[in-house]
Chains A and B, each alone.
Chain A
Amino acid sequence: MSDAIRLLERLGAAPVRGAAGADAIVAAAGEMPAAQRKALLDRDPDALRTLAGGRRSMRCLIISPEPGQTAPCDRHRAGSSWQG
């Protein structure tokens, strides 16, 4: 799976815009299991996470609404993007 992670890193750093550029990078990548390549081309982060063997549940920190406190919040991963 490290190939897919490296490819994601390369895609993140690449000055490409739009699907065509990203697809070209994926297509030009070296040997990669077909399922991973498909997940990348399908833009399917959840499939990629499953294939990667990453944690099924990820939780994020949020700031507490009450001043002077900070409470991590938890959330089982359901989407593909988080922010903080």
Chain B
Amino acid sequence: MAAGKGSLSCVGVGMMLGAHIGARARATIEQADVVFAAVSDPLVELWLQQMNTDVRSLQPCYAEGKSRHDTYREMVEAMLADVRAGRHVCGAFYGHPGVFAGVPHKAIAVARAEGFDAHMEPGVSAEDCLYADLGIDPGELGCQHYEASQFMFYRRRIDPSAYLVLWQVGVAGDRTVRRSSTGPAYRRLLVERLLEDYPSSHRVTLYEAATLAIAAPRMERVPLSRLVGAELRMQTTMVVPPATALLRDEAMMERIARLDAGARNEEVAA
């Protein structure tokens, strides 16, 4: 593309290499002046390098002991610097660029605030894979999603008749945003919180989407009583199935019935 007024497109490449990338996301990567890659698998990074001659990994923004907020700002600034230089910039993120990933949202917001065209192209997220692999339809019984630490830090009203999905359980309880994992003591607190709404025998699923076609997703079922000792990685998501039946709101049903009856009477009168 010719240099002119810069632009930013943040696209998702999906979870599995070669399986999930959309036509528009791929074309955006291929046609960009420069691609900044924030992916989780080195093979995916190499894959992106085959799509564009100027793919720059955002991994060097990280460093041991470095403030992750600084890292975050550097990622945004790296992309924006090229936008300001008049280039068409693509940020390629694994999964969906707007789901559990703040950098794309921030970069787009900054670009737009500075008058540049900025766009997000959705991708297949871990949540999408979860529904497919575990056979869950969130519309059937409802589905609550929380970041695991936020779930612990704040009082939430859990509905045990719906699915509960906790993300980033591997770092549940981490207040420093510096740890790569938290230990059994933190998980024990998470379990204590869950036991307010679920029995200890309740079986949850530890899920990890497959990122390569030669790998299988992790779908390990364990009772809550064994969660403290389970292997929880950064990419592990915990799915808590409903523990109680739906409770019908009879008062609401009665009010709706009265409305229905009134509507029928109006139809008859007309």
Contact = CB atoms under 8 A, between A and B. Distances in A.
A binds B: yes
Interface of A: 1-2, 5-6, 8-14, 22, 40, 43-45, 48-49, 52, 54-67, 69-84
The residue among B93, B94, B209, B235 with the most chain A CB atoms within 10 A of its own CB is B235
Nearest to A4: B43
Interface of B: 15-20, 38-43, 45-47, 50, 57, 59, 61-62, 68-69, 71-72, 75, 93-96, 99-103, 105-106, 125-126, 129, 147-150, 153, 167-168, 171, 174-175, 177, 180-181, 208-215, 217-218, 233-235, 237
Contact of A49 (B20, B41, B153): B41
A63 B180 contact: no
Given A65-B150, A70-B106, A81 B75 contact: no
Contacts of B217: 81
- The prevalent SS among residues of A at the interface is loop
Contacts of A55: 42, 45, 57, 59
A54 B62 CA distance: 16
B38 A1 contact: no
A69 B129 CA distance: 26
Nearest to A25: B213
A81 B210 contact: yes
A77 B42 contact: yes
Contacts of A49: 41-43
B150 A81 contact: no
Nearest to B127: A83
A65 to B, nearest CB: 4
Q: Which 7 A-B pairs give the minimum distances between C-beta atoms?
A: A70-B102, A54-B42, A12-B18, A82-B40, A83-B126, A9-B18, A65-B149
The residue among A9, A57, A61, A66 with the most chain B CB atoms within 10 A of its own CB is A61
B215 A43 contact: yes
A84 B211 CA distance: 11
B213 A82 contact: no
5 contacts: A69-B69, A70-B72, A73-B168, A81-B235, A83-B129
Contact of A84 (B20, B50, B125): B125
A63 B101 contact: yes
Contacts of A64: 102, 177
A72 B100 contact: no
Nearest to B216: A43
Contacts of B147: 62-63, 65
Contacts of A63: 100-102, 147, 167-168
B25 to A, nearest CB: 14
A71 B70 CA distance: 9
A25 to B, nearest CB: 9
Contact of A8 (B18, B71, B96, B126): B18
Contact of B177 (A9, A11, A71, A77): A71
Contacts of A70: 72, 101-103, 105-106
